[in-house]
Amino acid sequence: MAAHFACDLAQAGLALNHFWEHTVGSDHAPMALRADWQAQLRRAHHELGFRYVRFHGLLSDDMGTLICHQGKKLYSFFNADQIFDFLLSIGMKPFVELSFMPLALKSGDRTVFSYRGNVSPPRDYQAWATLINKLTCHWVARYGLQEVRTWFFEVWNEPNLAEFWSGTQADYFKLYRCTVEAIKAVDASLQVGGPATAKNAWIAEFVDFGRQNHVPIDFISTHHYPTDAFGEETDDTETQLSKSTRGILREQAKQTAQQAQSKPVYYTEWNASSNPRDPLHDEPYAAAFVVKTILEANGLVEAYSFWTFSDIFEENYFPSQPFHGGFGLLTLHGVAKPTYRAFQLLHHLGREMLTVTGSHETVDTWLVRDENSATLVLTNHALPRHPIHQEQVHIELKSPGQPRAAYIERIDADHANAKKLWREMGQPDYLTTIQLERLQQASEMNKELLHYQYGDSVIHFDIELPPHAVAAVTIRF
């Protein structure tokens, strides 16, 4: 049975702020010193509109921010400056995650990831405060107070998980208080927030802590993935996703916004799964998930930072295979994945969302209006092991005028899907120049003319929508 959707293009709409473009995630700070990382971020900023970037490990010893040498604390902000200088040079800004613990301040030996970021609380909170204050003062002196006031300072990463914080919740709240006081001693208007938790955790407790102890909280940050708390911990990713719920991230974002009690909410990590080696990350499935998740979150959050923009990423180990299921929008070689093209479609949308009538078990639609055009975005998405089929979709748009032109852009198994060609090549671990050029071509998203009918002030057309697909129909007036 065909799916039917309709929209009146003359209706008043709701604002669509491009909140997903506010921030994008990366790996850890040393990666930002690489030329290929910088080239990919420059491209993502230009083509996708990202304004801030967030990464782990700015304070870890491999950045040299604070080390102990011959019994003396040595501060060096040179590497951090190199990164921030680059960001500002391309028109971006840092979303400053303050982690992990310099070994000179550690209270324990627990570490995370291949680069061994220390996750213990400071053994001397005043020494931690001194580091944060010195760093903030340095950035204000180097970049100017007006610039640094536009940055965001996020305290730590996922302290509710033992992998990332060996202390207690009370220890984290102490760290947050110490940090926010050190930053706001430089300037009270600098923006500081947390708790930067996984799984939407600690929000209510954190807000209560701030209110009861008169501790400033400028924004709420947290993370979520559709694999969070679904199935057993030993389940594979596909099983976890199959036990998830369609639209679960929207429901979680609504609850987080309520718990934040009017404070702005910044999701600083999310993706189609939390597995850094999930094959679905490289496939059209993830593109459909991304578009649906973002457009459903409109009006709930200030920022929605996808984790991550690039597969130049070494939390577990540095990969070499072109398509290895990494988090990134771009492969190691800079080949655009279907998710990259999804963000590209979203970037070109207007700023006003209209109500669309109609419903379907796997097909969703949104209509976004611009000054002289309207774009209908469609997805056909289901979780793994749930029914999904190719669907015939009929659209009716009530229009005050006859269109001048209409075209469609697609992301699916046969469109903007470079992994398909890589498989046909025999899945080479290392690419030749010619193979890379072919994959770049296969990743492109093309515009095709759309055939429609217009009569009695109504635009009619039909679309075939394969499983795990995105389509965007743009009509110009």
Catalytic residues: 158, 269
Euclidean distance between CA atoms 338 and 288, whole angstroms: 9
Contact, 381 vs 352, CB < 8 A?
no
Euclidean distance between CA atoms 364 and 388, whole angstroms: 13
Q: Say how many C-beta atoms besides its own lie within 10 A of residue 423's C-beta.
A: 11
Query: H or E segment at 117?
Result: strand 117-118
Residue 90's φ and ψ, nearest 5 degrees, are: -105, 10
The single-letter code of the amino acid at 356 is V
User: What pairing do the DSSP bridges indicate for beta strands 152-155 and 117-118?
Assistant: unpaired
Helices (H) and strands (E) in the chain, counts: 12, 23
Residue 213's alpha-carbon distances to 98, 207, 209, 220, 222, in angstroms, are 22, 10, 6, 17, 21
Euclidean distance between CA atoms 152 and 191, whole angstroms: 5
Euclidean distance between CA atoms 35 and 438, whole angstroms: 23
Contact, 339 vs 57, CB < 8 A?
no
